[in-house]
Structure 1
Amino acid sequence: MAIKSIPSDSMPREKLLNYGPQALTDAELLAIFLRTGTKGMNVLELADFLIKDFGSLRNLFSASQNEFCSHRGLGNAKYVQLQAALEMSHRYLAETLKRGEALTSPEHTKLYLSGILRDRQREAFYVLFLDNQNRVIKDEILFEGTIDAASVYPRVVVKRSLEHNAAALILAHNHPSGVAEPSQADRRITRRLIDALSLVDIRILDHFVIGDGEVVSFAERGWV
């Protein structure tokens, strides 16, 4: 179908302006990003084709440069644009976690941590260092491991916490398997960290385990 034959109020840009971005399908949102179609396919058809070809919008976003650019209608320019858009979304989420703003939304925290950790191929242990009003002072990945585990050293966590003058921490790590259910090892290292940090009057507010589409909170389960 020629793009000109689509009613104007059904075009993705007009639909977004009239009804908001939440009213658009994945293909319509992608079409706005792509801007133009390719030979034999208008931009909406191309967007729909790409989502089906990759399997999902998320798979398209997390594809490597080679995987992305090997698909019809895509190339280095589009890859650069997409990576810039993704990084802007991460930074947007991070803005509300910066020093000077209270950490008041667990759901926002989960969303932010998922964006940081979900698609990593190796396990990573991430720490949010907070002041006594639960505002973020610093955030960083302290440890990275194999696909199965990361070695976490309580003395390093204590040392970094004192360097940042933190009053509390939020911990997070990903499970590359995609299963967010915490292991017994996860619970043991959390207990060791709680015990070590209590000696210097630093609290652990929560430990999030990031899976594929699921986040488990230790605090919600009453484990911290």
Structure 2
Amino acid sequence: MHHAKLVAGEVAGTYHVTAPVTETDILQMARALARRRLAKGRKITQPVQAFDYLQTLMQDYEHEVFGALFLDCQHRIIRFEELFRGTIDAASVYPREVVKTALAHNAAAVILVHNHPSGNPESSDADRRITQRLKEALGLMEIRVIDHIVVGSEGSSSFAERGYL
């Protein structure tokens, strides 16, 4: 971590805070850690592993953001990318752009993610419709949609867990 107030501890995954920190510092550190956990080459064996990190990165946006975690055939992360930003209630999501980006990264699978600025992570009918369209479009290119995660300050919900995929 490139943070002067945070020093790695002797036990992996532990840190010492070396100076007083503000809430903003803590949130920045959490986001930096989440980005590291979603870095290239890390293997996602269970989508649940990714939920917390994605939630940390996306829960505080004031507008809706739609992104994707692109994975290789062994479900290692190629890249996390925020693809669309929208108004507070809806992001315009273009399947063509998602497919283009997935192909550019040579992805074999994707985990879709977007936030609900309202805080409530329940998926809407529109969310389910766009997921279906993306699944069909990506499927034509033999790219699997493993999950679609909706994050809000109140938690996250998984399409795969709910049987929507």
Q: 2:132 aligns with which of 191, 196, 207?
A: 191
- 1:8 equivalent in structure 2: none
Q: Which stretch shifts more, 171-180 or 101-110?
A: 101-110
- 2:8 equivalent in structure 1: none
The one-letter code sitting in structure 1 at the alignment partner of 2:98 is V
Divergent runs of 4+, >4 A: none
Return the alpha-carbon distance in structure 2 between the equivalents of residues 203 and 107 of structure 1.
17
The one-letter code sitting in structure 1 at the alignment partner of 2:104 is E
Taking a change above 3 Å as real, the CA distance of residues 214 and 86 of structure 1, as seen in their structure-2 partners, is closer
Report the secondary structure of 1:219's partner residue: helix
> How far 1:88 sits from its partner (Å)?
2.8
Return the alpha-carbon distance in structure 2 between the equivalents of residues 108 and 102 of structure 1.
10
1:182 aligns with 2:119: no
- 1:128 equivalent in structure 2: 69
Report the secondary structure of 2:160's partner residue: coil
- Alignment RMSD: 2.1
**Are the equivalent residues in 2 in contact too, given 1:98–1:135 (CA < 8 A)?**
no
Q: 1:89 aligns with which of 19, 24, 30?
A: 30
Report the secondary structure of 1:170's partner residue: strand
- 1:48 equivalent in structure 2: none
Return the alpha-carbon distance in structure 2 between the equivalents of residues 123 and 159 of structure 1.
21
Task: Name the count of aligned residue pairs.
Answer: 150
**Are the equivalent residues in 2 in contact too, given 1:97–1:135 (CA < 8 A)?**
no
Return the alpha-carbon distance in structure 1 between the equivalents of residues 112 and 146 of structure 2.
8
Q: Which has the higher contact order (CA 8 A, sep 6+)?
A: 2
Q: Which runs of 5+ in 2 are unaligned?
A: 1-13
The one-letter code sitting in structure 2 at the alignment partner of 1:93 is A
Q: Which runs of 5+ in 1 are unaligned?
A: 1-20, 22-31, 35-77
**Are the equivalent residues in 1 in contact too, given 2:114–2:150 (CA < 8 A)?**
yes
Q: 1:211 aligns with which of 123, 137, 152?
A: 152
**Are the equivalent residues in 2 in contact too, given 1:154–1:193 (CA < 8 A)?**
yes
**Are the equivalent residues in 1 in contact too, given 2:35–2:57 (CA < 8 A)?**
no
Structure richer in helix, relative to its length: 1
**Are the equivalent residues in 1 in contact too, given 2:147–2:159 (CA < 8 A)?**
yes
Work out the percentage of aligned pairs sharing the same amino acid.
50
Structure richer in strand, relative to its length: 2
